[in-house]
Chain A
């Protein structure tokens, strides 16, 4: 079932790439069907997902040999974290695919690349093999490179190149670390389950430190954490709106997901020893992201920097959970918050970037100074944007609040000072979102925006899908939290502390 949800988009993508006879509408229908069926497969797995106390670490497992000589195989399976993130990704892909964008006369290829990216992203979240994980990690770069370079605007080629080179450097660091980790194991295998059970590298010697460093640097580039974030704003600004939504909503999660799945789970001792430095880096990201975002005059850059800030919260939660101090309750809270933040940030920032894409579709500019008083001409856009922005800075009863509350509640018990300083970040994001909303929607309507069209029916429909979930998680988070807490990611927290 999981394999099918990875393969369906890939097959559809291939079909779209080779069949030149299909019209634009036809291509769109087929693409939507591919993405939708893939999501359906995930939902079916979700329906059968066991959240009981004695649920196995990974469910819906499937395995098929690839290179047995190296212990590499096609292995899929989910725990609560993987399932939650892939469900969110599948939904976001569907919305981004349907969202109107400037196809530059190549709609068919645009859909094909999007579906390719969906297939490899889901593959990354669903696989249980380290090498297959790396394969998908790399392929996601290829997909994004072509999406940005071909359908981006402005200096898109340069942005795409910078994105590719930066993140390839990160992914190769991860490859070396993976090899270091696998070679430390007694038998040559890339099976995540076996590596989690074996904990091949222990303690804090040079070797395990270097391997951990490789993982953290690689994932920090992808996440991105300060000071490895400089590719992000550029890639976001030049990418088409829906691609930005995927970049922020799905691709950034690969970094944090990777941290939890690999170093956090497979090298617990070493990770615990370096949790504090990681938490400090995360704190820097929180503050730096928020402060720099405040200074941006470009709509997309501003949202992009808030991503740096939000991923900082996530990493802070992970670091707090990985530190072997504090009670189980606090650590579970912090990790659960971190994963909820991944889901929430995907939905919220995805929605924000999709709407940013709509701004570009209508006017061709992201400069905040070019807007004002849109409340009068575009009330639907205003409601959507307000809701997403409020959720983003953590207004209670919306998804962002659930996540950030848990992260900070958990971190307070472990690193009280860091948590206290981190709260400043929330204040700043609140300020920057409010000032942005005010600038765009209130004040006098700028003359050349008289004809600004409100969101059309497609846009409203898919936006509502995302935002309803944001509200639902905000007021009734139980179903999500129970799912996340099931399975492998939370194993290290059980029974290690008294």
Chain B
């Protein structure tokens, strides 16, 4: 008897997605938006079921699916982020002929990310990554007749094809050398013997594959194009949700390696440094808000890698990763929600004087950006604080110092967008979308502030929990 109860959240998401697909096939254009409330109901049920799992720490489905704090909170985060994107979407796609299907694809993509967050098996990992990628291409290129969107989708696809090949090759090598697809068996094999060069090559290839989902170096190049060209809700989704799944996945993979064999953690630390620096340097002089956010997302992936590099070295690593992802997701989504509500405007000059012409939208963007910098007491600050705490405790103080330098640099490009909004004169009142996107736009900054003040609710259950299997 399969323990189906353990994957009820995932089943709920699939059923909802199928239901939406059927509904969208038969509903007339003016009723397509009903896909959004259906998706929200499904996501709500899934989140509730997922919430019931809080506290469990075990492997299930013969060791291929992990139910630990990272998996549960990561999937809750994915569900929450997806629900937020759903709320952003109805107004944006109102006149799109394939409006209803969008929600189904969102849910399938979220499912891929959830599969990555919970995977404790190499094959499961590959399936999750592929599901998340395949749906991602569609989301990025959803505006088929708009060149920028198609370009974003194309770039996403080409880099994705390469990265996923690397992921599968690496997975085959790792499984072949360790003699097991399950993480428990792999972990035991790693602990017993000295790793062979083929195994290390395989690990590096898997990391390259995951870096694509994560938006980290070396496979980060799609990030700015997708952020700029994809439909704004898709951009919000693709810069956030796959990253959550991939980060938890990579952390679990790193946790398999014993501390003394194979310098896997220093490698991750180096990737973290490279990623955050590249992202920041490229973001410095961007004149396009969405493109800047894309590059800043790259640098934020670098910060997330900091926590992964001290997995096993510091008990704070896992809580730091989850809280940081929470902070990053909330801030990035809130900023994109405001951009969506402003009909996707993105040129720096177009934001001049936004504080006087559209105060709510401007405040949402400003709070979002300041949270990305890590200004207290916003949730982004708690995330960065935990990251620094974990890296210093894990003995990577130099990485924390590098992250501080990068944070200072990042303040510069965020302020480059905030300053004209506040200090310049506005020329006209920009048009906005409707009630749905407005609701997303308003709830974003509220979430950033409230989560920062009430973070203990999430942080306390995370303290002291470990990544399975260990």
A residues sitting closer than 8 Å to B (CB atoms) are 65-70, 131, 134-135, 138-139, 142, 145-146, 149-150, 156-157, 160-161, 164-165, 168-169, 172-173, 175-176, 179-180, 183, 210
Looking at the assembled complex, report how far the CB atom of A303 sits from the nearest CB atom of chain B, in whole angstroms: 25
Any A CB within 8 A of the CB of B423 = yes
Sampled A-B contacts (11; CB under 8 Å): A67-B382, A138-B376, A139-B376, A165-B408, A165-B412, A165-B415, A168-B407, A176-B392, A176-B401, A179-B388, A183-B389
Which of A65, A164, A183 makes the CB contact (< 8 A) with B392? A183
Select which of A69, A145, A149, A157 is within 8 A of B460 by beta carbon.
Answer: A69
User: Within 8 Å CB of B404, what residues of A?
Assistant: 169, 172-173, 175-176
Provide the residues of chain B in CB contact with A156, threshold 8 Å. 423
| Option from B370, B385, B407, B423 in Cβ contact (under 8 Å) with A142 | B370
User: Is the Cβ of B456 less than 8 Å from the Cβ of A161?
Assistant: no
Q: Would A179 and B375 be within 8 Å (CB), given that A68-B460, A135-B381, A164-B415 are in contact? A: no
Q: How far is the CA of A70 from the CA of B386 in the complex (A)?
A: 9
A127 CA to B412 CA in the complex, in Å? 29
Residue of A nearest to B424 (CB): A157
A168–B405 alpha-carbon span in the complex (Å):
10
Pairwise interchain contact B422-A149, C-beta atoms closer than 8 A: yes
The smallest C-beta distance from B146 to any residue of chain A, in angstroms, reads 35
Is there a chain A Cβ closer than 8 Å to B208's Cβ?
no
- Collect the chain B residues with CB atoms within 8 Å of residue A165's CB: 408, 411-412, 415
A156 closest partner in B (C-beta): B423
Residue numbers in A under 8 Å from B415 (CB-CB): 145, 161, 164-165
**Do A168 and B455 touch (CB < 8 A)?**
no
**B400, A176: Cβ atoms under 8 Å?**
yes
A70 to B389, alpha carbons, bound, how many Å? Answer: 10
Say if the beta carbon of B463 comes within 8 Å of chain A.
Answer: yes
- Given known A-B contacts A69-B460, A172-B404, A183-B389, A150 and B423 have beta carbons under 8 A apart: yes
Q: Given A67-B459, A70-B459 in contact, is the A157-B376 Cβ separation under 8 Å?
A: no
Q: CB < 8 Å: which of A142, A157, A161, A176 contacts B375?
A: A142
- Which residues of B have CB within 8 Å of A161? 412, 415, 419
- With A134-B376, A135-B377, A164-B415 known as contacts, the answer to whether A169 contacts B408 (CB < 8 A) is yes
**One of B386, B388, B422 near A150 (C-beta < 8 A):** B422
Q: How large is the interface on B (under 10, 10 to 19, 20 to 34, 35 or more residues)?
A: 20 to 34
Contact with A along B364-387 (1 / 0, CB 8 A): 000000100101110001100110
Are B385 and A131 touching (Cβ within 8 A)? yes
Q: How far is the CA of A27 from the CA of B419 in the complex (A)?
A: 25
Whole-angstrom distance between the alpha carbons of A150 and B459 in the complex? 38
Q: How far is the CB of B190 from chain A (nearest CB, A)?
A: 29
A264–B397 Cα gap in the complex (Å)?
23
**In the complex, which residues of chain B have a beta carbon less than 8 angstroms from the beta carbon of A183?**
389, 392-393
A252 to B453: give the CA distance in the assembly, Å: 28
Separation of A65 and B456 alpha carbons in the complex (Å): 9
Shortest CB-to-CB span from B452 to chain A, Å, is 10
In the complex, chain A residues whose CB is within 8 Å of the CB of B397 = 176, 180, 210
| Min distance, Cβ A182 to any Cβ of chain B, angstroms | 8
Cα distance A183–B386 in the bound complex, in angstroms: 12
Q: Is the CB of A179 within 8 A of B411?
A: no
Given A164-B415, A176-B392: A135 and B423 interface contact (C-beta under 8 Å):
no
- The answer to whether A146 and B422 touch (CB under 8 A), given A134-B376, A176-B388, is yes
Q: Mark B409-442, 1 if CB is under 8 A from A, else 0.
A: 0011001000100110000000000000000000
Task: Tell me whether A180 and B392 are in contact (CB under 8 A).
Answer: yes
Cα distance, A176 to B377, chains bound together (Å): 17
**Are A135 and B376 interface neighbours, CB within 8 A?**
yes
Report B368 CB to chain A, min CB distance, Å: 14
Residue of B nearest to A175 (CB): B388
Return the CB mask of B181-211 against A: 1 if under 8 Å, else 0. 0000000000000000000000000000000
10 further A-B pairs in the complex, CB-CB below 8 A; given A69-B463, A131-B385, A134-B376? A70-B385, A70-B386, A146-B422, A165-B411, A172-B407, A173-B404, A176-B404, A179-B388, A179-B392, A183-B392
Q: Which of A160, A169, A172 has the most CB of B within 10 A?
A: A172
Highest count of chain A CB atoms <10 Å: which of B385, B386, B400, B455:
B385
Q: A142-B370, A172-B408, A173-B404 are in contact. Are A69 and B392 (CB under 8 A)?
A: no
Q: Is the CB of A157 within 8 A of B423?
A: yes
A487 to B422, CA, bound (A): 43
The winner among B373, B375, B382, B463 for most chain A CB atoms within 10 A is B375
Contact mask for chain B residues 90-128; partner A; CB cutoff 8 A; 1 contact, 0 none? 000000000000000000000000000000000000000
Q: Across the interface, which residues of A come within 8 angstroms of B422, CB to CB?
A: 146, 149-150
A139 touches B375 (CB 8 A): yes
* B375 proximity list for chain A (CB < 8 A): 138-139, 142
* Residues in chain A near residue B408, CB distance under 8 A: 165, 168-169, 172
Nearest chain A CB to B206 CB, angstrom units: 32
- How distant is the Cα of A210 from the Cα of B401 in the complex, in angstroms? 12
Q: Of B373, B381, B393, B456, which is within 8 A of A66 by CB?
A: B456
- Among B376, B404, B459: residue with most chain A CB under 10 A: B376
Least Cβ distance of A201 to chain B in Å? 13
Residue of B nearest to A67 (CB): B456
Query: In the docked arrangement, what's the CA distance between A157 and B453, Å?
Result: 31
Cα-based distance from A175 to B422 in the complex (angstroms): 28
A148 to B375, CA, bound (A): 18
State the CA gap A131–B388 with chains docked (Å): 13
Residues of B within 8 A of A164 (CB): 411, 415
Residues of B within 8 A of A169 (CB): 404, 408
How far is the CB of B155 from the nearest CB of chain A, in Å? 33
> Whole-angstrom distance between the alpha carbons of A134 and B389 in the complex?
14
CB distance from B315 to the nearest CB of A (A): 11
The distance from the CB of A165 to the nearest CB of chain B, in whole angstroms, is 6
Question: In this complex, what residue of B is CB-closest to A135?
Answer: B376
**Nearest-CB distance from A231 to chain B (Å)?**
13
Q: Point out the residues of chain B lying under 8 angstroms from A69, CB to CB.
A: 456, 459-460, 462-463
CA–CA, A179 and B389, complex, Å: 6
Q: How far is the CB of A176 from chain B (nearest CB, A)?
A: 6
Residue of A nearest to B416 (CB): A161
Q: Is B455 in contact with A67, judged by CB distance below 8 angstroms?
A: yes
Among B18-67, those with CB < 8 Å from A are none
Q: Which residues of B contact A145 (CB under 8 A)?
A: 415
Pick the most buried of A134, A165, A176: most chain B CB atoms within 10 A of its CB. A176
Min CB distance A230 to B, Å, is 15
Give the distance in Å from the alpha carbon of A134 to the alpha carbon of B384 in the complex: 13
* CB of A105 to closest CB in B, whole Å: 10
Residues of A within 8 A of B459 (CB): 67, 69-70
| Residues of B close to A65: CB separation below 8 A | 456
In Å, the complex CA distance between A131 and B400 comes to: 17
A146 vs B408: C-alpha distance when bound (angstroms): 18
**Set of chain B residues within 8 Å of A142, measured between Cβ atoms:** 370, 375
Minimum CB distance partner of A158 in chain B:
B419
- Interface centre among A135, A156, A160, by most B CB within 10 Å? A135
B41: min CB distance to chain A, Å: 33
Task: Tell me the bound Cα distance from A172 to B400 in angstroms.
Answer: 10
**A157 to chain B: which residues have CB within 8 Å?**
419, 423
Output the nearest chain B residue to A161 by Cβ-Cβ distance.
Answer: B415
**Complex Cα–Cα for A169 and B422 (A):** 23
* Complex Cα gap A315–B385 (Å): 29
**Closest residue of chain A to B462, judged by CB?**
A69
Cβ proximity bits B338-355 to A, threshold 8 Å, 1 near / 0 not: 000000000000000000
Q: Which residues of the partner chain A approach B392 to less than 8 Å between Cβ atoms? A: 176, 179-180, 183
CA distance A210 to B397 in the complex (A): 11
- The interface residues of chain B lying within 8 Å CB-to-CB of A160 are 419
**In the assembled complex, which residues on chain A have CB atoms less than 8 Å from the CB atom of B389?**
70, 179, 183
Closest to A106 in B: B356
- A184 to nearest B CB, angstroms? 10
Of B401, B415, B462, most A-chain CB atoms within 10 Å? B415
A159 to chain B, nearest CB (A): 12
Residues of A within 8 A of B423 (CB): 149-150, 156-157
